[in-house]
Amino acid sequence: MRKNVCFKSAYLPYLLVLPQIVITLLFFIWPALQAISESVVIQDPFGLYSRFVWFHNFVTLFTNTDYINSLIVTLIFSLAVTILSLVGGLFFAVLANRVTRGKRIYNALLILPYAVAPAIAGVLFRFLFDPAIGIFPYWLHYFHYTWNFTINSRQALFLIVIISAWQQVSYNFLFYLAGLQAIPRSLIESAALDGAGPFRRFWSIIFPLLSPTTFFLIVINMLYAFFDTFGIIQIVTQGGPANATQTLVYKIYQDGFMGLDFGGSAAQSVILMLVIIVLTIIQFKFFERSIEY
């Protein structure tokens, strides 16, 4: 198949990509440059005065225990979310792939959480887990377990992990389901004839064949946990208690918009930008190694 398209007019191709370029420049490149330039200055809250300080902002960050704490929280949080939502997604995909009757209903229901806005998911779970009126704390009470995520930092982190993973399971489910369906049935049947039981088949054939999907999803889920969970944290814990759920992104917001430390929060954004760039490069490099049947 021919991949290159030839246009008669010399300008048309440029015109066609123009909107995308404008959007990228306006909403990505310009703010990024802005962040880089702000990360090397210190300015007062009104922007009237600013002083060039080289990498002072970065140095301050890494000597600040709050930032290190936030880094650790983010790592724990994103790893937990990624593992939980990957395992969940894979689990449901394997089950849904076996279903023959009412397949669409199951699939639709499993995809539903993805359609819920993060903030709404946050509110939903906040009610479910509310120490005073929530149903879960009520049940936990029977097991003599005291649940109060507003004062217990482990519980708070656990809660936002659960919410974030719950939302992301749908996404992973979709990709895993597509991945499972792309595996030719004859491979599984061949393994069955070769004497592998369902469990062996899964670990020696299906799971390795899904590895490109898994790898892709690990990167995507890390990115998700890093960046797209802001709404959930904002609604449920606001980074508390005692910064236990203050992820890097949430800290940027708090330092920049609440603390009005523009230089510091810009420096944090630059660091996060590097993280994204690295993750994206890894993804591009390895995602090409897909499997052909």
Partner 1 sequence: MATIEFKQVRKRYNDIEVIHGIDLAINRGQFVVIVGPSGCGKSTLLRMVAGLEEVSAGEIIINGQLVNDLPPKKRDIAMVFQNYALYPHMSVYENMEYGLKMRGFDRKEIKFRVMKAAKILQLESLLKRKPRDLSGGQRQRVAMGRAIVREPSIFLFDEPLSNLDAKLRVEMRLEIYKLQRELAVTSLYVTHDQVEAMTLADILVVMNKGIIEQVGKPLDIYKRPTTVFVAGFIGSPAMNFIKSTVYDRGQTISIIDQQLIHLPYPLLKQYEETEIIVGIRPEALQIAQSRDQDQFKVKVEVVEALGSDTIVYGRIAGSGQQLVAKLTSNIVTHPGEYLALSVKPEQLHFFDCDTEKRILGI
Would you tell me which residues interact with partner 1 (CB under 8 A)?
Answer: 184, 186-187, 189-197, 200, 204-205, 208-209, 211, 291-293
- Alpha-carbon span 59 to 77, nearest angstrom: 24
**Assigned token pair, 16:** 């066609």
Residue with smaller CB distance to partner 1, 90 or 209: 209
Contacts of 31 (CB under 8 A, 6+ apart): none
Residue with smaller CB distance to partner 1, 188 or 270: 188
Give me the phi and psi of 50, to 5 degrees please.
-145, 150
* Smallest distance from partner 1 to CB 195, Å: 4
* Smallest distance from partner 1 to CB 99, Å: 16
Residue with smaller CB distance to partner 1, 66 or 194: 194
Give me the phi and psi of 45, to 5 degrees please.
-55, -25
- DSSP classification of residue 191: H
- Alpha-carbon span 226 to 110, nearest angstrom: 23
* Smallest distance from partner 1 to CB 212, Å: 10
The angle that helices 118-128 and 153-182 make with each other, rounded to 10 degrees, is 130
The angle that helices 103-115 and 153-182 make with each other, rounded to 10 degrees, is 140
* Smallest distance from partner 1 to CB 189, Å: 5
Residue with smaller CB distance to partner 1, 3 or 289: 289
Residue with smaller CB distance to partner 1, 110 or 191: 191
* Smallest distance from partner 1 to CB 292, Å: 5
